[in-house]
């Protein structure tokens, strides 16, 4: 289905959701709890990848976005929708609280994936979006705690809070202290094995292990995965881990959205379509307005409206909230007060617990289907909404720290005999560089010398993409095994067709092969022979000093 939809530039998320609907209604295959559990790993992989991008140092630098923006957004949005649900629509206090908490969440899966793919994480709006989404994911813990209290009246609040606090301390103690040592050592062993499938299996063990530990102590698997990603975010393996997990993340996220589509009841959808769309736009409009006015005190109008629009949808964690509430019979409507009570009394509508659940599920699905289009046209929509105020408050954004992106740098492929010498010369000239090698021994040697060396498979496209080759000044290939140089060059040119590549070769045949690709090459044997001969013909009383 997506092969067809991509031809007309329709987001793949919509294709996945439609696939789920087709599976149920054309093939009669119902969704299962097992399939939903498997699909949840899409969020787990996504949160692990985001954790890789945000080390503890970077998270501390974002304390305003996480603690201030995030807390204000979750609390004020929940409060607003609780007041509307309880006093205007006439729902019970319990149901109003459930709906308010769920509507305060946004879609981590869609929004972060978009910002990551479009290199928008290191923008003012991107930082605000990420900070708020991190706090929303943390807020899932108290939300699930509140649902447990609402579902079981016999549970003691004090006992549950104490249990949650103790469990949280244990999870952090396991993942942050011994977890970091364990992850580094086991990845060292996998890298030394020089078998890619063992390295990938080790990475999966870390992801699933962190998620399982978090889940065992009563927290979401995605939160454990996020902490697990942060644990190895500053290690030498960061980029290789990202490259190995990208396909897992995308496949499982696709499956997640397929299971979302399988929850749609078409009969209910057709009968309530206009009511669902009308209420959805009302909810999204309120979220945009609230987030915009909160951020406007701290950021420019432009970045505030972009953040608000990006987070206007209802998130995937809302499915878990609604499912939990429905299974514990919290969708109870007495029909005696508010707008809905009046319509129920007049016989205009007939509200049932299953109807409320399906209505809310469809609102979440529609908001997810709309979001890719909002994100795609974020700039023109923002300009239209702000009009003359588009540049208002830009000085507020100038005070926000944005990490300098990797650009105009030199990439040294291979940290062997020649690579070490090249790096030394670059350091002497204070050039910006990054060196890479698939031999962990060489990488460790570089780290001891305080060189910027990372571990990675230099023939893997996913890994090379992390090095921003299209922004690099040049790429110097110094690998000792010259038989793979053409493969490396092919991979680099696939990613960055205009890359300036300089390669060391050991034979005339290799030199001619690279000439066909229009790549500059230096034949090490020929160059050494020329230097030796020139030294022989020089004045022997004056030693020849070759400047590097």
In a domain, 297, yes or no: yes
Whether residue 385 is found in the same domain as residue 429: no
Residue 245 CB-density burial (10 A; 0-12 exposed, 13-18 middle, 19+ buried): buried
Whether residues 428 and 361 fall in one domain: no
541 found inside a domain: no
pLDDT, one tens digit for every residue, the chain (548 residues): 888 887 777 778 888 888 888 888 887 777 667 777 788 788 788 878 877 876 666 667 778 888 889 999 999 999 999 999 888 888 888 888 999 999 999 988 788 878 877 777 778 888 889 889 888 877 877 887 788 777 766 666 677 677 777 777 887 788 877 777 888 888 888 888 888 888 889 889 988 988 888 888 877 787 788 888 888 887 788 888 888 888 888 888 888 888 888 888 888 888 888 889 999 999 999 999 999 999 988 888 888 999 999 999 998 888 878 877 887 788 877 666 778 777 777 666 677 777 888 889 899 989 988 898 899 888 889 888 887 666 666 666 655 655 556 678 899 988 888 888 889 998 888 888 889 888 888 888 888 888 888 888 887 877 887 888 888 888 988 887 767 788 888 888 888 888 888 888 887 877 777 777 778 888 877 888 888 888 887 765 555 554 44
Question: Does 523 map to a domain?
Answer: yes
> Which of 368, 397, 426 is a domain's end point?
397
Q: Are residues 442 and 388 part of one domain?
A: no
Strands of 301-378, DSSP E: none
Give me the domain span that covers residue 184: 2-397
User: Helix, strand or coil for residue 197?
Assistant: helix
Domain boundary among 351, 372, 397: 397
Burial class (CB within 10 angstroms; exposed 0-12, middle 13-18, buried 19+) of 483: exposed
DSSP H or E run through 453: strand 453-455
User: d(Cα 343, Cα 354) in Å, to the nearest integer?
Assistant: 18
Q: In terms of domains, do 390 and 310 share one?
A: yes
What pLDDT is stored for residue 542 in this prediction?
A: 55
- Please report whether residue 402 resides in a domain: no
Q: What is the pLDDT of residue 548?
A: 44
Q: Are residues 35 and 184 in the same domain?
A: yes
In a domain, 546, yes or no: no
Would you say 110 and 318 are in contact if contact means Cβ atoms under 8 Å apart?
no
* DSSP codes of every residue in 369-433: HHHHHHHHTHHHHHHHHHGGGTTTTHHHHHTS--PPPS-S-EEEE--SHHHHHHHHHHHHTT--E
- Answer yes or no: is 308 within a domain: yes
Q: Residue 153: inside a domain, yes or no? A: yes
Q: Check: pTM over 0.75? Answer yes or no.
A: no
Q: Does 367 reside within a domain?
A: yes
Cα–Cα distance for residue pair 312/307, rounded to 1 Å: 9
CATH of the domain at 458: 3.40.50.720
Q: Give the pLDDT confidence score for residue 401 in this predicted structure.
A: 56
Do 392 and 415 lie in one domain? The reply is no
Helix 108-117 and helix 124-151, axial crossing angle in degrees, nearest 10: 160
Number of domains in the chain: 2
53 and 200 in a common domain: yes
In this structure, the answer to whether residues 389 and 423 fall within a common structural domain is: no
- Is 502 in contact with 522 (CB distance < 8 Å)? yes
- Report the phi/psi class of residue 350: left, alpha or beta, with left for phi > 0 and alpha for psi in -120 to 50: beta
Judge if 389 and 415 occupy the same domain. Answer: no
What is the pLDDT at residue 190? Answer: 86
- Give the residue from 477, 419, 475, 480 showing the smallest Cα distance to 452: 419
Q: What is the CATH number of the domain that holds 207?
A: 1.20.1530.20
DSSP 120: -
What pLDDT is stored for residue 75 in this prediction?
A: 94
β-bridge mates for residue 504, sequence order: 522
Where is the domain boundary, 350, 371, 397? 397
pLDDT of residue 80: 94
Helical ranges in 194-237 per DSSP H = 196-216, 221-231
Please tell me whether residues 232 and 282 are part of one structural domain.
Answer: yes
Are the C-beta atoms of 506 and 479 separated by less than 8 Å?
A: no
Same-domain status, 415 and 328: no
Same domain, 113 and 238: yes
Q: Give φ, ψ of 218 to 5 degrees.
A: 90, 10
């Amino acid at each position: 289905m997506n092969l067809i939809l991509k031809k007309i530039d329709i987001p793949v998320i919509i294709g996945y959701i439609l696939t789920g609907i087709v599976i149920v209604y054309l093939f009669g295959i119902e969704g299962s709890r097992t399939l939903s559990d498997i699909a949840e790993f899409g969020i787990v992989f996504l949160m692990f990848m985001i954790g890789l991008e945000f080390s503890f140092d970077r998270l501390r630098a974002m304390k305003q976005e996480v603690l201030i923006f995030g807390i204000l957004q979750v609390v004020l949005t929940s409060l607003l929708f609780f007041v509307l649900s309880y006093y205007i629509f006439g729902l019970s206090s319990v149901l109003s609280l459930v709906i308010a908490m769920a509507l305060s969440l946004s879609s981590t899966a869609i929004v972060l994936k978009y910002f990551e793919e479009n290199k928008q994480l290191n923008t003012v709006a991107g930082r605000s979006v990420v900070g708020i989404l991190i706090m929303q994911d943390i807020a899932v813990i108290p939300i699930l705690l509140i649902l447990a209290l609402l579902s079981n009246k016999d549970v003691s609040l004090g006992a549950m809070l104490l249990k949650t606090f103790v469990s949280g301390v244990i999870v952090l103690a396991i993942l942050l202290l011994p977890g970091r040592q364990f992850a580094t050592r086991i990845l060292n062993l996998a890298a030394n094995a020089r078998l890619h499938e063992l390295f990938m299996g080790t990475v999966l063990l870390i992801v699933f292990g962190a998620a399982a530990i978090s889940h065992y102590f009563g927290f979401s698997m995605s939160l454990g995965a996020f902490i697990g990603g942060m644990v190895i975010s500053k290690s030498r393996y960061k980029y290789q881990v990202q490259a190995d997990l990208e396909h897992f993340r995308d496949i499982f996220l696709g499956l997640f959205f397929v299971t979302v589509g399988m929850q749609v009841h078409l009969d209910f959808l057709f009968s309530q379509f206009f009511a669902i769309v009308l209420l959805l736009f009302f909810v999204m409009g309120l979220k945009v307005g609230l987030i915009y006015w909160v951020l406007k005190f701290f950021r420019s109008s432009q970045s505030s409206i972009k953040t608000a629009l990006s987070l206007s949808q209802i998130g995937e964690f809302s499915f878990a909230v609604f499912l939990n509430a429905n299974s514990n019979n919290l969708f109870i409507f007495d029909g005696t007060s508010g707008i809905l009570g009046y319509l129920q009394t007049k016989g205009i509508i007939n509200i049932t617990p299953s109807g409320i659940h399906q209505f809310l599920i469809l609102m979440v699905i529609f908001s997810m289907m709309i979001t890719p289009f909002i994100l795609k046209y974020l700039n023109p929509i923002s300009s239209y909404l702000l009009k003359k105020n588009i540049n208002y408050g830009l000085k507020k954004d100038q005070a926000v720290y944005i990490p300098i992106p990797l650009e105009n740098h030199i990439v040294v492929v291979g940290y062997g005999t020649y690579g070490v010498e090249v790096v030394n010369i670059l350091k002497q000239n204070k050039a910006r560089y990054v060196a890479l090698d698939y031999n962990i021994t060489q990488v460790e040697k570089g780290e001891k010398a305080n060189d910027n060396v990372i571990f990675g498979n230099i023939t893997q496209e996913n890994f090379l993409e992390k090095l921003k080759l299209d922004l690099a000044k040049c790429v110097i290939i110094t690998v000792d095994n010259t038989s793979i140089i053409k493969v490396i060059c092919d991979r680099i040119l696939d990613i960055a067709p205009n890359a300036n590549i300089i390669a060391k070769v050991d034979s005339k045949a290799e030199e001619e092969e690279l000439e066909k690709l229009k790549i500059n090459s230096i034949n090490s044997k020929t160059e050494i022979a020329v230097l030796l001969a020139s030294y022989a013909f020089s004045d022997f009383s004056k030693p020849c000093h070759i400047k590097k």
